[in-house]
Amino acid sequence: MSIEDLESIALAMVAPGKGIIAIDESTKTIGKRLAAVGVESTEESRRAYREMLLTTPGLGEHISGAILYDETIRQSTKDGVPFTTVMKKAGIIPGIKVDKGTVPLAGFPGDVVTEGLDGLRERLQEYAKLGAQFAKWRAVIKITEDTPSSTAIEANCHALARYAALCQEAGLVPMVEPEVLMDGDHSIDVSYEVHEAVLRSLFNALYEQNVMLEGTILKISMVIPGKDSDEQVDAEEVADATVRVLKSCVPASLPGIVFLSGGQTDKQATSHLNAINHIGPHPWPLSFSYGRAMQQAALKLWAKDPKANVAEAQKMVHARARDNGLAALGRWNG
Tell me if residue 219 is catalytic: yes
Binding pattern to ligand 13P, positions 172-201, x when CB under 6 A?
-----x------------------------
Give the other-Cβ count within 10 Å of 165's Cβ: 17
Nearer to ligand 13P, 21 or 252 (CB): 21
Provide, rounded to whole angstroms, the least separation between the CB of residue 22 and ligand 13P.
3
CA 77 centroid distance within chain:
24
Q: From the candidates 219, 236, 267, 307, which is the catalytic residue?
A: 219
Burial 303-334 (b: 16+ CB within 10 A, else e): beeeeebbeebbebbbebbbbbbbbbbbebee
Q: From the candidates 44, 169, 177, 312, which is the catalytic residue?
A: 177
Residue 226 found at the interface with ligand 13P (CB under 6 A)? no
Hey, which residues between 292 and 321 contact ligand 13P (CB under 6 A)? 292-293
Beta bridge partners of 220: 259
Provide, rounded to whole angstroms, the least separation between the CB of residue 294 and ligand 13P.
7
From residue 158, alpha-carbon distances to 65, 72, 224 in Å are 26, 28, 25
Residue 22 found at the interface with ligand 13P (CB under 6 A)? yes
DSSP character string of 288-312 = EEESHHHHHHHHHHHHH-TTTTHHH
Angle, helix 266-278 to helix 292-304, in steps of 10 degrees: 150
Residue 328 found at the interface with ligand 13P (CB under 6 A)? no
Tell me if residue 177 is catalytic: yes
Query: Which residue of the chain is nearest ligand 13P when measured via CB?
Result: 291
Hey, which residues between 244 and 303 contact ligand 13P (CB under 6 A)? 260-262, 290-293
Catalytic sites, residue numbers: 177, 219
Q: Where on the chain is the footprint of ligand 13P (CB under 6 A)? A: 22, 24, 138, 177, 260-262, 290-293
